[in-house]
Amino acid sequence: MDIIETIKEQIANNPVLLYMKGSPNAPQCGFSSKASQVVMACGEKFAYVDILQNPDIRANLPKYANWPTFPQLWVGGELVGGSDIIAEMFDNGELQPMIKAAVEKSEA
């Protein structure tokens, strides 16, 4: 399967998806650590992809997403942003309902 198709499938099949360096339990950079903590604090299950273990995704996702950096949070098939943006949205109370709605929609 083409790597772009793989990325599209991952985004389509996971209502909340975090592309990050490492895993939520063992992040490999400060930004990924911050992002995974924020998403975990929203209280819903989410999927993640360790881009350090997936060099093709690491190389191609920035072009596909038109977003140059990691982590990247995707909710309901849409790119939300990186760690600073999602932390700000969490602090403003915008992220929690967005994630909850995406999870509920996927379970319906």
Please state the residue numbers annotated as binding site for [2Fe-2S] cluster: 29
CA dist 55 and 106 (Å) reads: 28
Residue-wise DSSP of 30-54:
HHHHHHHHHHHHTTS--EEEETTS-
Binding-site positions: 21, 29, 58, 70, 83-84
Please report, in range form, the residues annotated as the binding site for glutathione.
21, 58, 70, 83-84
Q: How far apart are CA 76 and CA 16, in angstroms?
A: 7
